[in-house]
C-alpha cells in the first residue's frame, strides 16, 4: 500500500498530474455548460410551449439522451479509447437490455390494456 | 383418459390445436430423432473397450460440419415461425369464430371458488354450469371478482385469464353434443382444486329447455344477491337465476376499477364503450 | 494482464500513479457492473411509472400535481453537485487534501439541499391528499422518486464516511479509489435524474 | 392480528400447531438443528468451524459451503416433493392426508427452495470453487464480498426454514402472483417471508455474480485470452451477467409487492389503480433468464466432462462460446411466453413465441457439438460421463416440449397444466441437477483428494434416471387431459394411476438419493486407500487439474502462463505440465474476516423483524448492517502473507506425490 499522495508529490511525477488536472477541470466546465444548455432547452420547450404533443415528447426525449451522452463523456470519462472498451461494452450492453426490457414492457402492457377494455 | 380432451376434440378450436400439435411435433422430430440415434450409435461404437473404432483425439472442429449443424435446426425453426405467426393469428382467442349464426355472448365472472355465467341476451344466469347450443359460436367475456383465474375447457380448447376490473375474451364452439369439464387452472387458494364447472353442449331443444328451466328459478341475481354468491365457497352447488340486474357484469368490473378507463367512469352503466358490450 | 496504461473511466487518477491503476481497474470495473445492475432497477421502475401514469383511480393526475419550478431547481442543484464533485476529483488528482475536503463538503451540502427540496415537495403533495396510497399512479411516482432520493441519501452518507477516512488515513490508495467510485455513483445519480425530469415532470406539465 | 410494540405480530399462535403434520415437520427442523448444534459442541468443533470455515474468505471454502447449503436445502426440497407426490397419489376425491392450505405451502416452498436455495447456491458453489482454478487465479476479485454473498444467501435460506417453525410460508407458488399474494387475499406472514428471503438472498446473489464477472474479466492467468478460457468459465460468465441484469426484475417485482403489503400502495392490487399484469411482466423479466442462469453453468459442466471422458478435444469450442452468448442475450427477449394466456394481441404473442424458438437453435447446436465430441473418442463411462449421456438424451425431450409451449395456441391448452410441470422438471432435473451431480462427482476428488465411490454412484444413477422418467412422463399425459398444476386433490378416477406411477418414480429417486448418501459415506470410509494428492485423477485438460488435491490456499505458487486453449492438456503434450521453481516468493492472501457472518446474521434478523413487523428490531438491524459496512471500511491490515517456506513445503510435498505417480512426464 502506498503512502499519502502528497508524499509522492515531491517525486518526478508532479508535473504530469497538474497538467492533467488542468485539462480535466476544463472538461468538467464544458460538461457543466453543455448540461445546463440542454436542461434549459428541455424545460424551455415545455414552459414556453414551443412544441406540443408527440413532437414535444420526442424533442425532450432527444435532449435527455444527448445530455446522458454528454455526462458520460465529460463527467464519467467514457469515450471510445481502447482502455475503456470493456466499460463501454458493458454500458452499451446495459443500454440494449434496457431498451429490450422497457420497450418490451411498454409494448406488452399497452397491448394488454387495450385488449382488456374490449 | 383422453376422451373429451384436445386429443379428442369437440370443437373447431381444439381440433385445430390438435392438428397444430401433430404438425409441429412432426417437424421437430426431424431434428430430435437423429439426436437419439446418433447418441446411441456414438456411445456404443466409441466406448473405450472398442479399440477397433477410429480415434482422433485432436479433432476439434470442421467448418463444413458446423455449417450443417446450424442449417438444420435453423430450417426447422424458420418453418415453425411461419406456423406460429399464422396459427397465432388464426387461433387468437379474441377472434370470433366464423359461422352463419351470430355468436352467443356469455359473460363469466370468476369467484372464490365458483364460476358465474351470465347470459346477457336472455337475462338469465347460472353458476358452475355453462350450457349452450352446439354449432353456434360462443363469445365468452371474462372478468374476476377476486384474484386472477384462468378458464380452460380441454374439450373445446383455449384458455385465458380472468382478472378483476378487466375484461378478456375467449371464442369457442362445440361441434358435437356432450358434457365436458371446465376448470380454473390458475391457483387461487383453498378451494382451487374443486373449482370446476360442467360444460353442456346441447342441441337447440336442450338449450331452450335450459333457458326455460332458468326462467322458472326463484332466484334473481341482483347486486345484493351477487354479494352473497361471491362469498368464498368450495364445491358450490349448481344454481340458476331467472333474472340478472342490468349491466351487472360491468358493475362488477367497475367495482375493481383498476383499468384507466373504468376508473375515470365510476358509473359503469352510462359509459358508452361498455354499453356496446352489453349488446 | 493488459499492458496498456490502466487509466480508468471515472476520475481517472492513474496516469501519474500506475500502481493505483491496477488496483483500481478491478474495483472500478466491479463497481460499473453494480451500477449497471442498479440502472436496470431504475429502468424497470421507469417502465412501471410509464404504465401507471393514467391509473389515477379517480384521484389527482400528474398534470394537476407537479410543479415545474421546483423540478427545475432540483435539477440545477443536482447538476451543480455533480460539477462540484468533479472539482473534488480534480483536487484529488492534484493531491490537495484541503481542496478535496472542501469540494466534498460542497457536494454534500448540495445533495442535502436536493433531498430537502424533494421532501418539501412530497410534504406539499401529501398535504393535498396525494399520498403514495392514493392511487397506483402515485405509488409508482413516490417509489421511483424516493428510490432515487434514497440513493442520494446513501451517497451523502458515503461522502461523510470518506471525509472521515481522509482525516484518518489521508489520501492513501484505498481512500482515493473509494472517492473515485463514489464519484461514479454520484454522477450516475445525476444521469438517473435526467430521465426522471424527462419522463415524470416535463410530460406532466406539457399536457 | 393484533400487534404489540415489542413483538409486532409475533405471538404463540405463530407456532405450527394448526396441523399435526406441520408440527412434526417443525419438530424435525428444531430437533435436527439442536442436534447438529449439540454435536458440534460435543465435538468442540466451534472454534475450528469459526476459524477455518465461517470466517474464511478463501473461494474454495466458500464454494464448498455453498454446496453444503445447497445439499441441506435439497433435502428439504425433496421432502416437500415426496409429500406432494404422496398427496396426489392418494388425493382422489379430496382424500389425501394434507389440507389444501398445507399443500399450498409445500409447493411454494418446494419451488422457492429448489430454484433459489438449492440450484443457485449449488451452481454458485461450483463456480466459486472451479472458476478461479480454471483461470489460473489465486482467488476471486473480491474475496470478502464473496463471503458476504454466501452469508446473505444463507440468511435467505434460513428465513425460509424458520417459516416452517415460526409462522407459515407463502402459498403463492414460487412466482408469487398478486393479487392473490396481496394483503387482502393472503393476510398471513407467509408472503412476507417469501419476499424477505428473496430480497436478502437476491442481494447476495447479485454481489456474487458481480464478483464472478470481474474475476473472469480481470483475473485471468497471465496471457490467457478470453477465447482461451475453458468453456465452463464462459458459461459462468454468461450466467453471472444474466444474474446481474435479471435479478433487478425480481427485486423490483418482490419489492413493489412488499410495498403494497407493508405500506398500502397500489402497484398490483385489484383496486386503487393497481396493475396485476405488470407483476407478471416484471417477474418473468427475471424469471425467464433465471432458468438459463441455472442451465448455462450446467452446460459448462457437461462441456468439461464430456471431452475429458471421451479423451478427446471439445468439438467446436468457438461455436459453443457463441452459442452460449446467443442464448444469454436471447433469454432477455422471450419473457412473455410465461403469460401468453393473459390476452395480449396475436402480434405480441407470435413475436415472443418466435423469439423463444430461436433459442432452440443455439441449444441444438450445443447438443450436436457434444455428440461430435464423443464421436471418434475413447469413451470412459465413469459416473460424471453417465450423467452427461443421460442428460443429452433426456434434455432433448424437455426442449421439445418447451418448443411446444412456445407455440402460443398450444400453450393456451397446456399452460398451467401438469404438462408444464413435466416440461420444466424435464429441464431442471436432467439438465441442471444431472449437471450438478456430474460436476460434483467430477470435482469431488479435486476438493477432497479422494474420489467418490463408483459402484454406489452407478446405482444412484440408475435409480435417478428410472425415477425421473417414472415421475414425470405421466405428468405429460395428465397435461393433455387438462389436469392443472398446484392441485391438492381431484375427482377424475382415471387420473389416479398416473399419479401413483409418479409417486413410485419419486420413491425411485429417493432410492437414488439414499445411494448418494451411502456413496458419500463409503467414499469417506475408503479414503485412506483412494486418496491421491497428485491432483489429476481423470486426465483433465484445464488448469484446475494442475494443482494438488486439495489445492493450497493460494491455488498456484507460480501463476501459470497461458497461451492456448486447454492449457494443462497442451502443457502435458509438450512434456512440461508442472513448474516447480527453485525459489518461491511469499504470497499475499486475504485474512479471515467475520464481516460476512455478521452481515448475514444481521440481515437475517432484519428480514425476520420485517416479517413480524417488529419495527424497533428492524431499525436496529438496519443500522447494524450499515454500521458493519462502515466499520469494515476502516479496517486496515486485511491481508497476510504465506511465507515462502510454507509455500515451498507444500509444493515439494505435492511434487513428490506427482512424481510418485509417474505422471509428471505423461
Ligand atoms: C431445480 C428445481 C427443481 C427440482 C430439482 C425439483 C425436483 C422435484 N420436483 Fe419440483 N418444482 C420446481 C422445481 C424443482 N423440482 C418448481 C420451480 C416447482 C413449481 C412450484 C410452484 O408451483 O410454484 C415445482 C413443483 C413441483 C410439484 C408441484 C406440481 C404441481 O404444481 O402440481 C411437484 C409435485 O410432485 C414436484 C415434484 C418434484 C419431484 C418429485 C422432484 C424429484 O424428482 C427430485 C427431488 C430430488 C432432489 C431434488 C434431489 C435430492 C438429492 C440429494 C438430496 C443429494 C444427495 C446427496 C449427495 C449428492 C451427497 N415439483
Ligand atoms: C433450466 C430450466 C429450463 C430450460 C433450459 C428451459 C428451456 C426452454 N423452455 Fe422452459 N420453463 C422452465 C425451465 C426451463 N425451460 C420453468 C421452470 C418453467 C415454468 C415456470 C413456472 O411457470 O413455474 C418453464 C416454462 C416454459 C414456458 C411457459 C409455459 C407456460 O407457462 O405456459 C415456455 C413457453 O414457451 C417454455 C419454453 C422453453 C423453451 C422453448 C426452452 C428452450 O430453451 C429449449 C431448447 C432446447 C431444445 C429445443 C432441445 C435441443 C435442441 C435440438 C436437439 C435442436 C433442434 C430442435 C428444434 C429445432 C426444435 N418454458
Ligand atoms: Cu388484464 Cu387489464
Ligand atoms: Cu421461460
Q: Is A116 in the pocket of ligand 3 (CB under 6 A)?
A: yes
If one counts the domains in chain A, the total is: 2
CA B164 / ligand 3 centre spacing (Å) = 8
CB contact under 8 A, D341 and B193: no
Tell whether the model's pLDDT for residue A1 goes beyond 70: no
For ligand 1, atom 9, which residue shows the shortest CA distance?
D81
pTM score > 0.80 for this model? yes
Q: Are D104 and D171 in contact (CB under 8 A)?
A: yes
Q: What number of other Cβ atoms are within 10 A of residue A47's Cβ?
A: 15
CB contact under 8 A, C171 and A4: yes
B236 and B110 in one domain?
Answer: yes
User: Which residues place a Cβ less than 5 A from the ion ligand 4?
Assistant: D 288
Q: Which of A4, A17, A46 sits opposite C16 (nearest CB)?
A: A17
B193 and B57 in one domain?
Answer: no
What average pLDDT does the segment B228-240 reach? 93
Mean confidence (pLDDT) of chain D: 92
Q: What is the predicted pLDDT for the residue at D134? A: 95
Q: Which of A75, A87, A91 sits opposite C187 (nearest CB)?
A: A75
CA A90 / ligand 4 centre spacing (Å) = 24
Q: Is A112 in the pocket of ligand 3 (CB under 6 A)?
A: yes
Q: Is B77 in the pocket of ligand 2 (CB under 6 A)?
A: yes
pLDDT band at D388 (very low <50, low <70, confident <90, very high): very high
B112 and B83 in one domain?
Answer: no
Task: Tell me which residues of chain B, numbers 81 to 140, contact chain A at a CB-CB cutoff of 8 Å.
Answer: 94
pLDDT tens profile D76-120: 898 899 999 999 998 887 777 888 888 999 999 999 999 999 999
Task: Tell me which residues of chain D, numbers 327 to 386, contact chain B at a CB-CB cutoff of 8 Å.
Answer: 339, 341-343, 345-346, 349-350, 353-354, 357-358, 360-361, 364-365, 367-369, 371-372, 374-381
CB contact under 8 A, A87 and C9: yes
Task: Decide which of D304 and D637 is more confident.
Answer: D304
Give domain status of residue B112, yes or no: yes
What average pLDDT does the segment C84-108 reach? 92
CA A115 / ligand 3 centre spacing (Å) = 8
What average pLDDT does the segment C147-168 reach? 97
Q: Which of D217, D249, D336 sits opposite A108 (nearest CB)?
A: D336
Greatest mean pLDDT among A57-66, C87-96, D574-583 lies in A57-66
A53 and A89 in one domain?
Answer: no
| Structural domain that includes position A5 | 1-77
Residue ending a domain, among B34, B60, B90, is B90
pLDDT tens profile D528-541: 888 888 888 898 88
Task: Tell me which residues of chain B, numbers 39 to 58, contact chain D at a CB-CB cutoff of 8 Å.
Answer: 39, 42-43, 46-48, 53-58
DSSP chain B: --TTSTTS-SSHHHHHHHHHHHHHHHHHHHHHHHHHHHHHHHHHHTBTT-TTS---TT----HHHHHHHHHHHHHHHHHHHHHHHHHHHHT-TTSPPP-SSPPEEEEEEE-SS-EEEEETTTTEEEESEEEEETTS-EEEEEEESSS-EEEEETTTEEEEEE-BT--EEEEE--SS-EEEEEEE-S--STTGGG-EEEEEEE-HHHHHHHHHHHHT-S-EE-HHHHHHHTS--SSPPPEEESEE-TTHHHHHHHHT--SHHHHH---GGG-HHHHHHH-
For ligand 2, atom 31, which residue shows the shortest CA distance?
D338
CA distance D563 to chain B (A): 17
**What are the chain A neighbours of D347 within 8 Å (beta carbons)?**
111
CATH value at residue B258: 2.60.40.420
What average pLDDT does the segment D555-581 reach? 84
Give domain status of residue B164, yes or no: yes
pLDDT band at D5 (very low <50, low <70, confident <90, very high): confident
CA distance A83 to chain C (A): 7
Reported ipTM: the value is 0.94
B132 and B57 in one domain?
Answer: no
Greatest mean pLDDT among C86-100, D23-37, D149-163 lies in D149-163
Task: Decide which of C58 and C35 is more confident.
Answer: C35
A28 and A55 in one domain?
Answer: yes
**What are the chain A neighbours of B168 within 8 Å (beta carbons)?**
115-116
CB contact under 8 A, C58 and B263: yes
Using CB atoms, list chains with 3+ pairs below 8 Å to chain D.
A, B, C
A73 and A43 in one domain?
Answer: yes
Give domain status of residue B245, yes or no: yes
CB contact under 8 A, C57 and B266: no
Q: Are B113 and B128 in contact (CB under 8 A)?
A: no
CB contact under 8 A, B264 and C55: no
Using the structure block, give the residue that is written with the C-alpha cell 433465471: D290
Q: Which residues contact C164 (CB under 8 A, 6 or more apart)?
A: none
Ligand nearest to the CA of D409: 2
End-to-end CA distance of chain B: 39
B238 and B134 in one domain?
Answer: yes
Q: What is the predicted pLDDT for the residue at C22? A: 66
Distance CA D130, CA D442 (A): 11
CB contact under 8 A, C40 and D265: no
Q: Which atom of ligand 1 is nearest to the CA of D468?
A: 43
B128 and B224 in one domain?
Answer: yes
Sign of the alpha-carbon torsion through B98, B101, B102, B104: negative
Whether residue A116 lies within 8 A of chain B, CB to CB, comes out as yes
Q: What is the predicted pLDDT for the residue at D474? A: 96
pLDDT tens profile D331-356: 999 999 999 999 999 999 999 999 99
What average pLDDT does the segment D357-363 reach? 94
B122 and B86 in one domain?
Answer: no
What average pLDDT does the segment A11-33 reach? 72
Greatest mean pLDDT among A46-50, B251-255, D295-299 lies in D295-299
Q: Are B194 and D94 in contact (CB under 8 A)?
A: yes
pLDDT band at C73 (very low <50, low <70, confident <90, very high): very high
Q: What is the predicted pLDDT for the residue at B242? A: 95
Whether residue B166 lies within 8 A of chain A, CB to CB, comes out as yes
Segment among C169-178, D106-115, D284-293, D311-320 with least mean pLDDT: C169-178
Q: What is the predicted pLDDT for the residue at D262? A: 96
Q: What is the predicted pLDDT for the residue at A11? A: 38
CB contact under 8 A, C30 and D211: yes
B121 and B78 in one domain?
Answer: no
Tell whether the model's pLDDT for residue A61 goes beyond 80: yes
pLDDT band at A66 (very low <50, low <70, confident <90, very high): very high
Q: Which of D31, D83, D177 is nearest to D510 (CA)?
A: D83
Residue-range domain boundaries for chain C = 18-52+66-206
B135 and B69 in one domain?
Answer: no
pLDDT band at C19 (very low <50, low <70, confident <90, very high): low
Q: Which of D269, D413, D491 sits opposite B157 (nearest CB)?
A: D413
**What are the chain A neighbours of C16 within 8 Å (beta carbons)?**
13, 16-17, 20
Q: What is the 3-state secondary structure (H, E, C) of chain C?
A: CCCCCCCCCCCCCCCCCHHHHHHHHHHHHHHHHHHHHHHHHHHHHHHHHHHHCCCCCCCCCHHHHCCHHHHHHHHHHHHHHHHHHHHHHHHHHHCCHHHHHHHHHHHHHHHHHHHHHHHHHHHHHHHCCCCCCCCHHHHHHHHHHHHHHHHHHHHHHHHHHHHHHHHHHCCCHHHHHHHHHHHHHHHHHHHHHHHHHHHHHHHHHHC
Q: Is D506 in the pocket of ligand 1 (CB under 6 A)?
A: yes
CA D358 / ligand 3 centre spacing (Å) = 28
Task: Decide which of A24 and D545 is more confident.
Answer: D545
Evaluate whether the domain defined by C18-52+66-206 bears CATH number 1.20.120.80.
yes
pLDDT tens profile D218-255: 999 989 999 999 999 999 999 999 999 999 999 999 99
What average pLDDT does the segment B85-114 reach? 94
CA distance A114 to chain B (A): 10
% pLDDT > 70, chain C = 89
Torsion of CA B144, B146, B152, B153, to 10 degrees: -70
**What are the chain B neighbours of A115 within 8 Å (beta carbons)?**
94, 168-169
For ligand 2, atom 37, which residue shows the shortest CA distance?
D402
Radius of gyration (Cα) for chain C, nearest Å?
Answer: 19
Tell whether the model's pLDDT for residue D29 goes beyond 70: yes
Q: Is B142 in the pocket of ligand 3 (CB under 6 A)?
A: no
CA D324 / ligand 4 centre spacing (Å) = 16
CB contact under 8 A, D417 and B57: no
A114 and A94 in one domain?
Answer: yes
B232 and B163 in one domain?
Answer: yes
Distance CA B235, CA B197 (A): 10
Whether residue C56 lies within 8 A of chain B, CB to CB, comes out as yes
If one counts the domains in chain B, the total is: 2
Tell whether the model's pLDDT for residue D321 goes beyond 50: yes
Distance CA D602, CA D624 (A): 7
pLDDT tens profile B212-225: 999 999 999 999 99
Task: Tell me which residues of chain A, numbers 76 to 115, contact chain B at a CB-CB cutoff of 8 Å.
Answer: 113, 115
Whether residue B257 lies within 8 A of chain C, CB to CB, comes out as yes
Residue ending a domain, among B26, B56, B90, is B90
A36 and A94 in one domain?
Answer: no
Residue ending a domain, among B90, B121, B154, is B90
Tell whether the model's pLDDT for residue A16 goes beyond 70: no
Using CB atoms, list chains with 3+ pairs below 8 Å to chain A.
B, C, D
Which of D181, D368, D382, D402 is best to mutate for the B interface (most B CBs within 10 A)?
D368
A87 and A69 in one domain?
Answer: no
Ligand nearest to the CA of A113: 3
Give domain status of residue B199, yes or no: yes
Mean confidence (pLDDT) of chain B: 89
For ligand 2, atom 19, which residue shows the shortest CA distance?
D424
CB contact under 8 A, D336 and A116: no
DSSP D163-194: HHHSS---SSTTTT-TTTTSTTT--SSHHHHH
What average pLDDT does the segment D613-641 reach? 93
Tell whether the model's pLDDT for residue D664 goes beyond 50: no
CB contact under 8 A, D332 and A100: yes
| Structural domain that includes position B42 | 12-90
Tell whether the model's pLDDT for residue C207 goes beyond 80: no
Q: Are A78 and A69 in contact (CB under 8 A)?
A: no
Amino acid at each position: 500500500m502506498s503512502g499519502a499522495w502528497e508524499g509522492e508529490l515531491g517525486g518526478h511525477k508532479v508535473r504530469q498530474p497538474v497538467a492533467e488536472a488542468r485539462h480535466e477541470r476544463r472538461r468538467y466546465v464544458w460538461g457543466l455548460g453543455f448540461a445546463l444548455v440542454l436542461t434549459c432547452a428541455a424545460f424551455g420547450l415545455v414552459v414556453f410551449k414551443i412544441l406540443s404533443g408527440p413532437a414535444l415528447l420526442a424533442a425532450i426525449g432527444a435532449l435527455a439522451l444527448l445530455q446522458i451522452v454528454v455526462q458520460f463523456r465529460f463527467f464519467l470519462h467514457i469515450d471510445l479509447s481502447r482502455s475503456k472498451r470493456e466499460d463501454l461494452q458493458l454500458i452499451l450492453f446495459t443500454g440494449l437490455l434496457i431498451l429490450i426490457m422497457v420497450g418490451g414492457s411498454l409494448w406488452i402492457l399497452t397491448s394488454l390494456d387495450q385488449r382488456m377494455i374490449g | 383418459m383422453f376422451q373429451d380432451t384436445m386429443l379428442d376434440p369437440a370443437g373447431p378450436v381444439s381440433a385445430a390445436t390438435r392438428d397444430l400439435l401433430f404438425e409441429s411435433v412432426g417437424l421437430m422430430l426431424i431434428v430430435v430423432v437423429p439426436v437419439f440415434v446418433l447418441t446411441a450409435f456414438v456411445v456404443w461404437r466409441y466406448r473405450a473397450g472398442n479399440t477397433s473404432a477410429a480415434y482422433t483425439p485432436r479433432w476439434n472442429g470442421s467448418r463444413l460440419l458446423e455449417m450443417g449443424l446450424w442449417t438444420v435446426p435453423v430450417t426447422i425453426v424458420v418453418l415453425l415461425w411461419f406456423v406460429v405467426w399464422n396459427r397465432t393469428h388464426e387461433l387468437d382467442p379474441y377472434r370470433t369464430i366464423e359461422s352463419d349464426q351470430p355468436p352467443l355472448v356469455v359473460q363469466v365472472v370468476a369467484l372464490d371458488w365458483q364460476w358465474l355465467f351470465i347470459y346477457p341476451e336472455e337475462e338469465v344466469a347460472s353458476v358452475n354450469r355453462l350450457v349452450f347450443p352446439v354449432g353456434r359460436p360462443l363469445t365468452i367475456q371474462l372478468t374476476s371478482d377476486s384474484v386472477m383465474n384462468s378458464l380452460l375447457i380441454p374439450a373445446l380448447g383455449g384458455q385465458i385469464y380472468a382478472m378483476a376490473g378487466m375484461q378478456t375474451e375467449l371464442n369457442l364452439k362445440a361441434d358435437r353434443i356432450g358434457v365436458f369439464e371446465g376448470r380454473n387452472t390458475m391457483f387461487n387458494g383453498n378451494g382451487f382444486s374443486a373449482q370446476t364447472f360442467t360444460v353442456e353442449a346441447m342441441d337447440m331443444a336442450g338449450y331452450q329447455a335450459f333457458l326455460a328451466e332458468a326462467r322458472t328459478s326463484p332466484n334473481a341475481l341482483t347486486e345484493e344477491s351477487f354479494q352473497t354468491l361471491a362469498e368464498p365457497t368450495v364445491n358450490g352447488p349448481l344454481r340458476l337465476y331467472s333474472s340478472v340486474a342490468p349491466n351487472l357484469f360491468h358493475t362488477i368490473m367497475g367495482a375493481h376499477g383498476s383499468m384507466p378507463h373504468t376508473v375515470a367512469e365510476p358509473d359503469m352503466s352510462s359509459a358508452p364503450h361498455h354499453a356496446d358490450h352489453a349488446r | 494482464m493488459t499492458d496498456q496504461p490502466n487509466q480508468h473511466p471515472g476520475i481517472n487518477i492513474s496516469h501519474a500513479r500506475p500502481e493505483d491503476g491496477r488496483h483500481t481497474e478491478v474495483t472500478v470495473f466491479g463497481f460499473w457492473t453494480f451500477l449497471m445492475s442498479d440502472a436496470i432497477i431504475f429502468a424497470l421502475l421507469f417502465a412501471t411509472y410509464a404504465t401507471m401514469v393514467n391509473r389515477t383511480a379517480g384521484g389527482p393526475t400528474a398534470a394537476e400535481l407537479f410543479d415545474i419550478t421546483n423540478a427545475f431547481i432540483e435539477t440545477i442543484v443536482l447538476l451543480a453537485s455533480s460539477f462540484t464533485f468533479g472539482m473534488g476529483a480534480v483536487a484529488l488528482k492534484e493531491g490537495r487534501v484541503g481542496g478535496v475536503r472542501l469540494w466534498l463538503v460542497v457536494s454534500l451540502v448540495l445533495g442535502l439541499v436536493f433531498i430537502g427540496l424533494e421532501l418539501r415537495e412530497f410534504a406539499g403533495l401529501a398535504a393535498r391528499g396525494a399520498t403514495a396510497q392514493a392511487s397506483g399512479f402515485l405509488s409508482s411516482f413516490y417509489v421511483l422518486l424516493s428510490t432515487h432520493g434514497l440513493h442520494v441519501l446513501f451517497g451523502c452518507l458515503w461522502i461523510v464516511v470518506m471525509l472521515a477516512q481522509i482525516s484518518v488515513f489521508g489520501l492513501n490508495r484505498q481512500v482515493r479509489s473509494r472517492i473515485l467510485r463514489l464519484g461514479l455513483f454520484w454522477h450516475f445519480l445525476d444521469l438517473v435524474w435526467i430521465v426522471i425530469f424527462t419522463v415524470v415532470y416535463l410530460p406532466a406539465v406539457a399536457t | 392480528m393484533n400487534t404489540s410494540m415489542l413483538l409486532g405480530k409475533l405471538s404463540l399462535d405463530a407456532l405450527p400447531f394448526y396441523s399435526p403434520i406441520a408440527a412434526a415437520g417443525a419438530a424435525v427442523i428444531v430437533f435436527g438443528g439442536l442436534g447438529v448444534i449439540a454435536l458440534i459442541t460435543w465435538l468442540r468443533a466451534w472454534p475450528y468451524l469459526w476459524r477455518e470455515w465461517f470466517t474464511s474468505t478463501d473461494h474454495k471454502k466458500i464454494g464448498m459451503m455453498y454446496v453444503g447449503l445447497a445439499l441441506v436445502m435439497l433435502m428439504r426440497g425433496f421432502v416437500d416433493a415426496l409429500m406432494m407426490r404422496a398427496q396426489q397419489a392418494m388425493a382422489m376425491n379430496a382424500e389425501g392426508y394434507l389440507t389444501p392450505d398445507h399443500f399450498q405451502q409445500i409447493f411454494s416452498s418446494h419451488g422457492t427452495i429448489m430454484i433459489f436455495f438449492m440450484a443457485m447456491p449449488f451452481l454458485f458453489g461450483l463456480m466459486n470453487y472451479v472458476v478461479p482454478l480454471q483461470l489460473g487465479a489465486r482467488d476471486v476479485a473480491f474475496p470478502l464480498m464473496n463471503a458476504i454473498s454466501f452469508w446473505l444467501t444463507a440468511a435467505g435460506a434460513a428465513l425460509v426454514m424458520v417459516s416452517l417453525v415460526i409462522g407459515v410460508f407463502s402459498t403463492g407458488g414460487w412466482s408469487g402472483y398478486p393479487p392473490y399474494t396481496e394483503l387482502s387475499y393472503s393476510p398471513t406472514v407467509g408472503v412476507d417471508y417469501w419476499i424477505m428471503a428473496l430480497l436478502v438472498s437476491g442481494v447476495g446473489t447479485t454481489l456474487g455474480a458481480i464478483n464472478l464477472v470481474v474475476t473472469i474479466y480481470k483475473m485471468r492467468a497471465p496471457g490467457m485470452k478470453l477465447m482461451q478460457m475453458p468453456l465452463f468459465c464462459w458459461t459462468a460468465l454468461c450466467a453471472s451477467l444474466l444474474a446481474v441484469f435479471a435479478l433487478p426484475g425480481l427485486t423490483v417485482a418482490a419489492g413493489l409487492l412488499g410495498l403494497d403489503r407493508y405500506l398500502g400502495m397500489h402497484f398490483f392490487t385489484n383496486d386503487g389503480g393497481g396493475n396485476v399484469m405488470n407483476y407478471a411482466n416484471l417477474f418473468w423479466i427475471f424469471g425467464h433468464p433465471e432458468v438459463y442462469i441455472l442451465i448455462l453453468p450446467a452446460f459448462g459442466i457437461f462441456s468439461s466432462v464430456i471431452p475429458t471422458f471421451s479423451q478427446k478435444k471439445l468439438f467446436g469450442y468457438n461455436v459453443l462460446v457463441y452459442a452460449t452468448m446467443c442464448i444469454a442475450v436471447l433469454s432477455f427477449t422471450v419473457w412473455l411466453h410465461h403469460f401468453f394466456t393473459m390476452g395480449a394481441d396475436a402480434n405480441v404473442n407470435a413475436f415472443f413465441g418466435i423469439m423463444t424458438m430461436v433459442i432452440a437453435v443455439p441449444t441444438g447446436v450445443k447438443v450436436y457439438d457434444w455428440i461430435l465430441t464423443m464421436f471418434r473418442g475413447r469413451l470412459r463411462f465413469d459416473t460424471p460421463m453417465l450423467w452427461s449421456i443421460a442428460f443429452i438424451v433426456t434434455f432433448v425431450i424437455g426442449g421439445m416440449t418447451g418448443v411446444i409451449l412456445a407455440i402460443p395456441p398450444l400453450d393456451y391448452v397446456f399452460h398451467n397444466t401438469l404438462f408444464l410441470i413435466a416440461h420444466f422438471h424435464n429441464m431442471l432435473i436432467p439438465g441442471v441437477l444431472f449437471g450438478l451431480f456430474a460436476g460434483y462427482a467430477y470435482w469431488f476428488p479435486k476438493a477432497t483428494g479422494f474420489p467418490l465411490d463408483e459402484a454406489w454412484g452407478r446405482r444412484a444413477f440408475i435409480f435417478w434416471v428410472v425415477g425421473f422418467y417414472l415421475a414425470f412422463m405421466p405428468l405429460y399425459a395428465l397435461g393433455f387431459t387438462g389436469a392443472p398444476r398446484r392441485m391438492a386433490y381431484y375427482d377424475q378416477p382415471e387420473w389416479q394411476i398416473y399419479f401413483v406411477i409418479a409417486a413410485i418414480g419419486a420413491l425411485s429417486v429417493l432410492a437414488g438419493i439414499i445411494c448418494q448418501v451411502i456413496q458419500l459415506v463409503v467414499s469417506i470410509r475408503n479414503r485412506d486407500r483412494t486418496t491421491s494428492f497428485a491432483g489429476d485423477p481423470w486426465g483433465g485438460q484445464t488448469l484446475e487439474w494442475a494443482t494438488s488435491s486439495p489445492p493450497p490456499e493460494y491455488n498456484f505458487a507460480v501463476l501459470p502462463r497461458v497461451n492456448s486453449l486447454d492449457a494443462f492438456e497442451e502443457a502435458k503434450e509438450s512434456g512440461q505440465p508442472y513448474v516447480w521453481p527453485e525459489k518461491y516468493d511469499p504470497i499475499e492472501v486475504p485474512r479471515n474476516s467475520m464481516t460476512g457472518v455478521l452481515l448475514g446474521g444481521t440481515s437475517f434478523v432484519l428480514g425476520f423483524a420485517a416479517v413480524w413487523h417488529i419495527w424497533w428490531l428492524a431499525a436496529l438491524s438496519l443500522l447494524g448492517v450499515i454500521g458493519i459496512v462502515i466499520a469494515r471500511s476502516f479496517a486496515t491490515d486485511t491481508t497476510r502473507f504465506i511465507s515462502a517456506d510454507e509455500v515451498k513445503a507444500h509444493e515439494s510435498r505435492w511434487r513428490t506425490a506427482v512424481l510418485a505417480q509417474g505422471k509428471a512426464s505423461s
